Amino acid sequence: MGSFSIWHWTILLLLVTVPALLIGGLVWLIVRVSRRRRGTPSQLPSTATGTASERTDDRLNRLHALFEQGQITREEYERQRASIISSV
C-alpha cells in the first residue's frame, strides 16, 4: 500500500507535464506574435548590388514602410534609422 505503481507515476507525470507543455506553448506563441508585430532588425533587407546611396535609400524606404505598417515602434524606427545613416 505504501508504494507507487507504474499507473500512479504515469498519472502524476501527465498531471505535471501537460500543464507545463501548455504553458510553454502559450509563452512561445505570445513571444512569436509579439516579435511579428514589432518587426525584427532581420526584416530589414540589405542589397548587395548598387551604390551605397542606393542601398541606403532602399533601406531607409523599407524601414519607413515597416514603421508605416505598424510592424515596428517609433523607438525602433529611430534607432534603426540612426544606425543606417551612421553607416554611410
pLDDT, tens digit, for every residue of 38-68? 765 555 555 444 566 678 889 999 999 999 9
Among residues of the chain, what percentage have pLDDT more than 90?
49
Cα-Cα end-to-end distance for the chain: 76
Half-sphere exposure of 2 (CA within 13 A, CB side): 0
Helical H runs in 1-88?
6-38, 52-68, 74-86
Among residues of the chain, what percentage have pLDDT more than 70?
82
Cα 16 to Cα 6: distance, rounded to the nearest angstrom:
15
Confidence of residue 11 (pLDDT cuts 50, 70, 90): very high
Confidence of residue 16 (pLDDT cuts 50, 70, 90): very high
